[in-house]
């Protein structure tokens, strides 16, 4: 398969923008736009070194809180009509306060999204604010629907009502519609609704975060946890092909706040379980390798911190990074793991740095957030790459094309705005920063833009803030250097004066409001729904046939027990691009399969070990713990999974054996983040997973090899297609165990 040269691909993308009709490329938008206004904030995030900090609504993460400090009241849901006139829809509908002081009736608004029909829209809003200094405050974002949007565009009064049956005690935000009209959104509702686990603390500095992505059928209140995210997920939406696309913060690393050097400050400890009233113990780390290399160890230290696009089916199954793209295609550097197999000393493992034979994409990025699909070019996604601090989640606009079937090896990043706009560093090309990109159906581009190129800081006081960033919506056009720059502002500025308590200080603001989160008001064809694929005709089907078990019976059992079934066909098969972890792998059994990518050290593998994200890490000491828990890796311990997996006495906890053909199969808990590693016969880690993955009840998830194969495996071949011996064995075991231990399901 020939690959179009990168320079030519960039030219083709640019021409796609430049050859738009002149009226669209230069004029203001010709279709209505919903957007929100927000009282500006001078602080992007609390950047001090203390733990358990709280961020705000415009931050990159930890943006779920609805307090007046995190989301100053006084903004609204706005409509910019096709002729450029502005309407304040929340005010017309009876929400919000025109007074300067923002008290009981005041609001903040965020995250509008238009239904496929163009006749309604959903968004998040918080109502109320402290009426006096130091008033107690319990504010949460809740979902609201504008039900007569098409009539509103024609001049009617908007009808806005709360979405029924949503979690009422938690922050629900960033909603959008699924293909069937049900709602997908982000929430900080704790996993399984266990209130004593609230709030969830992330894996970075235990900043409070959301718990992932949820699906709601508002008609009956059916609520499904689609993505259990230990560090938070953001902005889910359905693309043109029916895929649920979202950004996730991946931070699967050991807890720096729980390290021996920090325990005296943080007083970190572990609960013995997630149960209310569980006992405690000193903090312990099981996975992955330490952040800093341990003296005398051959394992290098490891950290990960990235915002990348992910995808899943609309029922939450088949979760993975968008098109399986990841660090090896997008990041500028990935370090290798073991010093005793270092290429500089004659070994095989190397750092990935820059462009090489295993790298097509030359435009590296640190992250890709605020993902949105280009309606003019389905499968092309725009996002923001910028610092996670000091920029209000703004930065450079970047793009990548990821239509279904596009091999991630061939995916490239396009720099839509100048690369300098991703940074706060001085540069002649750093003209400021962008967020909330909106590619329009006519091919034009709109974005929120702030002209200040440096880091945010408060030039005033808490009571009278003076931010550096002032976001306004702008039309974007390419300049002579072939990068997009802001041209005409979409409004003349929306100014107001407000006062509010934060709650200890009365804050005063007078000036323009930020203009954020634009969405086009237009009808679109609803994409097809997407669910877990059938396994008919797959190697796994052959295992089911051999064991005499039907797939339908297994899925019924899995749903009843809240389990998923994971199958790896050949754990020795790895992607060719990953030369950072061992890739010469052999099953440590007589006749065991092996896959060799180069001459050199050969690694024997014997077990696949699974970890689940258990909410057991806390701060402050067990006598007076701070609220919230951090999910950390714990050996697979789910009671149902243990009940039905074959027992493995004398082996490491949470493991199942690798069979001679390289296969492994096991039951895992559903709707709980999972990760894993391959172990040697001596129980040493050989290859570690770098992401958390959530499975759904009834899901049968199969993988051809360890860490997936994009263009080719390490030996130049494809993913494995063997009928997995481990699955056949597991199914035969299940037929006996299910009858003995479980009377709630009649199996074969």
Span 212-229, average pLDDT? 97
End-to-end CA distance of the chain: 46
Q: What is the structure's pLDDT at 82?
A: 94
% of the chain beyond a pLDDT of 90: 86
Contact criterion met (CB below 8 Å) for 442 and 30: yes
Beta-carbon count within 10 A of 273 CB? 14
Q: What is the structure's pLDDT at 39?
A: 98
Split at pLDDT 50, 70, 90, the class of 47 is very low
Look-up of token digits 């750093």: 430
What CA–CA distance (Å, rounded) separates 200 from 409?
Answer: 35
Enter the tokens of residue 565: 């079934």
Confidence check: pLDDT of 743 > 80: no
Query: Each residue of 84-108: b (16+ CB within 10 Å) or e?
Result: eeebbbbbbbebbbeeebbbeebbb
Q: What is the structure's pLDDT at 739?
A: 58
pTM of the model: 0.94
Span 491-508, average pLDDT? 96
Split at pLDDT 50, 70, 90, the class of 6 is very low
Confidence check: pLDDT of 435 > 70: yes
The per-residue pLDDT for range 165-218, each reduced to its tens digit, is 999 999 999 999 999 999 999 999 999 999 999 999 999 888 899 999 999 999
Contact criterion met (CB below 8 Å) for 587 and 706: no
Span 531-540, average pLDDT? 90
Least confident of 142-151, 347-356, 414-423, 671-680: 347-356
Enter the tokens of residue 60: 């990159």
Confidence check: pLDDT of 120 > 50: yes
Confidence check: pLDDT of 18 > 80: no
C-alpha to C-alpha distances, 230 to 210, 432, 694, nearest whole angstrom: 8, 32, 10
**Bigger pLDDT: 25 vs 76:** 76
Q: What is the structure's pLDDT at 46?
A: 55
Span 586-605, average pLDDT? 97
Q: What is the structure's pLDDT at 11?
A: 39
Q: What is the structure's pLDDT at 737?
A: 84
Enter the tokens of residue 455: 């880091």
Q: What is the structure's pLDDT at 354?
A: 74
3-state secondary structure of 515: strand
Confidence check: pLDDT of 2 > 80: no
Split at pLDDT 50, 70, 90, the class of 248 is very high
Span 657-686, average pLDDT? 98
The DSSP-derived string for 565-581 is EEEES-TT--BTT--SS
What CA–CA distance (Å, rounded) separates 193 from 271?
Answer: 18
Enter the tokens of residue 439: 């590619």
Span 226-239, average pLDDT? 98
Helices 539-547, 551-561: axis angle to 10 degrees equals 90
All domains in the chain, ordered by first residue: 17-262+283-336+347-520 (2.120.10.30), 539-741 (no CATH)
Contact criterion met (CB below 8 Å) for 397 and 447: yes
% of the chain beyond a pLDDT of 70: 93
Contact criterion met (CB below 8 Å) for 441 and 522: yes
Split at pLDDT 50, 70, 90, the class of 50 is low
- The whole-angstrom distance between residue 245's C-alpha and the CA centroid of its chain comes to 9
The per-residue pLDDT for range 473-497, each reduced to its tens digit, is 999 999 988 899 999 999 999 999 9
Q: Which of 677, 676, 667, 664 is nearest to 722 (CA)?
A: 664
Split at pLDDT 50, 70, 90, the class of 746 is very low
Q: What is the structure's pLDDT at 711?
A: 87
Split at pLDDT 50, 70, 90, the class of 24 is very low
Q: What is the structure's pLDDT at 708?
A: 75
Q: What is the structure's pLDDT at 54?
A: 65
Beta strand pairing status for 585-587 and 603-605? Answer: parallel
Split at pLDDT 50, 70, 90, the class of 91 is very high
What CA–CA distance (Å, rounded) separates 328 from 448?
Answer: 30
Span 330-358, average pLDDT? 89
Q: What is the structure's pLDDT at 480?
A: 86
Beta bridge partners of 353: 333
Q: What is the structure's pLDDT at 591?
A: 97
Span 644-670, average pLDDT? 97
Query: Burial of 119 by CB count in 10 Å (0-12 exposed, 13-18 middle, 19+ buried)?
Result: middle
The DSSP-derived string for 684-696 is -EEEE--S-B---
Q: What is the structure's pLDDT at 23?
A: 34
Span 506-525, average pLDDT? 97
Beta-carbon count within 10 A of 438 CB? 22
Enter the tokens of residue 209: 């975060």
Split at pLDDT 50, 70, 90, the class of 51 is low
Contact criterion met (CB below 8 Å) for 326 and 343: no
Confidence check: pLDDT of 10 > 60: no
Beta-carbon count within 10 A of 350 CB? 16
Confidence check: pLDDT of 744 > 70: no
Q: What is the structure's pLDDT at 44?
A: 78
Confidence check: pLDDT of 661 > 50: yes
Span 354-382, average pLDDT? 91
């Amino acid at each position: 398969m020939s690959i179009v040269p990168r320079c030519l691909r960039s030219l083709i993308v640019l021409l796609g923008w430049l050859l738009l009709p002149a009226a669209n490329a230069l004029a203001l938008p010709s279709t209505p736009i919903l957007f929100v206004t927000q009282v500006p904030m001078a602080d992007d995030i609390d950047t001090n070194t203390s733990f358990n900090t709280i961020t705000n609504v415009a931050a990159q993460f930890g943006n779920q809180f609805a307090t007046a400090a995190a989301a100053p009241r006084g903004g609204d849901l706005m409509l910019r009509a096709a002729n450029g006139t502005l309407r304040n829809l929340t005010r017309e509908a009876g929400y919000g306060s025109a007074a300067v002081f923002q008290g009981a009736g005041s609001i903040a608004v965020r995250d509008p999204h238009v239904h496929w029909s163009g006749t309604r829209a959903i968004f998040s809003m918080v109502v109320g604010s402290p009426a006096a200094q130091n008033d107690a405050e319990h504010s949460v974002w809740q979902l609201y629907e504008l039900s007569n949007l098409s009539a509103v565009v024609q001049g009617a009064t908007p009808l806005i009502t709360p979405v029924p049956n949503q979690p009422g005690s938690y922050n629900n935000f960033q909603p959008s519609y699924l293909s069937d009209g049900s709602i997908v959104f982000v929430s900080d509702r704790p996993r399984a609704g266990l209130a004593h686990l609230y709030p969830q603390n992330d894996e970075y500095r235990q900043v409070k975060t959301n718990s992932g992505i949820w699906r709601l059928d508002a008609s009956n209140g059916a609520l499904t946890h689609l993505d259990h995210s230990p560090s938070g997920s953001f902005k889910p939406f359905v693309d043109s092909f029916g895929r649920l696309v979202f950004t996730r913060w991946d931070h699967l690393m050991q807890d720096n706040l729980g390290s021996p050097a920090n325990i005296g400050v943080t007083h970190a400890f572990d609960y013995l379980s997630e149960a209310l009233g569980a006992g405690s113990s000193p903090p312990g780390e099981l996975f992955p390798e330490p952040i800093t290399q341990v003296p005398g160890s051959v394992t290098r230290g490891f950290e990960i911190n990235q915002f990348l696009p992910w995808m899943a089916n609309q029922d939450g199954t088949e979760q993975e990074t968008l098109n399986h793209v990841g660090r090896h295609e997008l990041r500028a550097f990935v370090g290798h793991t073991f010093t005793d197999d270092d290429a500089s000393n004659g070994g095989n493992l190397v750092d990935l740095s820059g462009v090489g034979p295993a790298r097509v994409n030359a435009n590296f990025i640190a992250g890709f957030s605020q993902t949105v699909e280009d309606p003019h070019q389905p499968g092309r996604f725009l996002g923001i790459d910028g610092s996670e601090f000091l920029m209000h989640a703004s930065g450079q606009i970047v793009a990548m094309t990821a239509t279904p079937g596009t091999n991630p090896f061939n995916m490239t990043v396009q720099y839509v705005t100048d690369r300098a706009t991703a940074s706060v560093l001085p540069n002649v090309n750093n003209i400021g920063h962008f967020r909330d990109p909106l590619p329009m159906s006519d091919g034009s581009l709109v974005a929120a833009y702030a002209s200040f190129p440096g880091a945010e800081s408060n030039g005033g006081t808490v009571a009278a803030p003076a931010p550096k960033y002032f976001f306004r919506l702008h039309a974007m056009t390419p300049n002579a250097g072939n990068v997009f720059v802001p041209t005409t502002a979409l409004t003349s500025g929306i100014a107001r004066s407000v006062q509010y308590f934060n709650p200890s200080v009365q804050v005063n603001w007078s000036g323009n409001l930020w203009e954020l989160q634009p969405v086009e008001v237009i009808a679109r064809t609803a994409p097809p729904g997407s669910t877990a694929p059938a396994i008919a005709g797959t190697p796994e089907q052959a295992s089911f046939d051999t064991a005499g078990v039907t797939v339908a019976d297994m899925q019924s059992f899995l749903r009843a027990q809240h389990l998923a079934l994971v199958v790896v066909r050949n754990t020795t098969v790895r992607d060719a691009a990953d030369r950072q972890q061992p890739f010469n792998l052999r099953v440590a059994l007589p006749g065991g399969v092996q896959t060799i990518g180069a001459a050199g050290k050969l690694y024997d593998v014997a077990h696949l070990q699974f970890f689940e994200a258990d909410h057991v890490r806390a701060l402050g000491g067990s006598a007076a713990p701070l609220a919230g828990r951090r999910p950390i890796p714990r050996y697979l311990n789910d009671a149902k999974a243990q009940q039905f997996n074959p027992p493995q006495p004398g082996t490491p906890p949470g493991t199942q054996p690798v069979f001679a053909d390289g296969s492994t199969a096991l039951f895992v808990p559903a709707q709980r983040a999972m990760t894993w590693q391959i172990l040697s016969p001596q129980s040493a880690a050989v290859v570690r997973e770098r992401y958390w993955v959530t499975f759904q009840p009834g899901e049968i998830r199969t993988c051809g090899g360890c860490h997936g194969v994009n263009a080719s495996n390490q030996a130049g071949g494809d993913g494995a297609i063997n009928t997995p011996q481990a699955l056949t064995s597991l199914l035969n075991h299940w037929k006996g165990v299910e009858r003995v231990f479980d009377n709630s399901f009649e199996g074969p």
